[in-house]
Amino acid sequence: MENKSQTVNNNIPNKEVSDQKTPCKKILLVEDDLITQDVIKFFLKGLYNVDIAHNAESAMEFIRSNKYIAILMDINLGKGKSGIEITKDIRKIEGYENIPIIAETAFAMRGDKEEFLAAGCDYYIAKPFSKEDIRNILLAVDVDHPH
């Protein structure tokens, strides 16, 4: 039986804790939508250990205390900083200058992908995406950025 706990306070990051064996590859998901958080966790279960930050403050807290192989970054996080602003902040942190950042967003108009890549994201995936889509982009990260 799986034992999970999540922190719900808006100033403290959510982190899934499980007594099951967790994969060694760790990614940070910066996403404010609870349904999208659950879908991505489900899609990546057994492949990646996923920490979840719901805003800029919790993202930066996770980054200061963890090492990730990649970051999945929602672009529109509602109130507060955007995913682009957080990406720029992350790029200034020692050890995170070259971390692969994947823009995951509902912005899918012509030019959006190029805008996010120019702003510091390394990859782009449009919502809605399939389990195969998200796994393939993370596989590309593994190939392009071996750990």
pLDDT tens, N- to C-terminus, the chain (147 residues): 333 333 333 333 444 434 345 457 899 999 999 999 999 999 999 999 999 999 999 999 999 999 999 999 999 888 888 999 999 999 999 989 999 999 998 877 788 888 899 998 999 998 889 999 999 999 999 888 776
Residue 115 lies in a domain: yes
Domain count for the chain, please give it: 1
Give the pLDDT of residue 6.
33
Taking the C-alpha atoms of residue 137 and residue 121, their distance in angstroms, rounded to an integer, is 13
Quote the pLDDT of residue 16.
43
- Establish if 11 belongs to a structural domain: no
pLDDT at residue number 147 = 66
List the alpha helices (DSSP H) in 27-130.
Answer: 34-44, 56-65, 83-91, 112-118
The strand pairing partners of 70, in sequence order, are 27
Q: Which two tokens stand for residue 89?
A: 């902040």
What pLDDT shows up at residue 7?
30
Host domain of residue 87? 23-144
Q: What share of the chain is helix, strand, coil (3-state, %, to 5)?
A: 35, 20, 50
* Assigned domain for 12 exists: no
In a domain? residue 1: no
CATH number of the domain that residue 128 is part of: 3.40.50.2300
Instruction: Supply the pLDDT for residue 2.
Output: 38
pLDDT in tens, 28-41: 999 999 999 999 99
Q: What is the pLDDT of residue 13?
A: 41
Q: Would you say residue 65 lies in a domain? A: yes
Rounded distance, CA 128 to CA 106, Å? 7
- How many CB atoms sit inside 10 A of residue 100's CB? 20
Distances (CA, A) of 66 to 14, 45, 56, 97, 130: 14, 19, 15, 15, 28
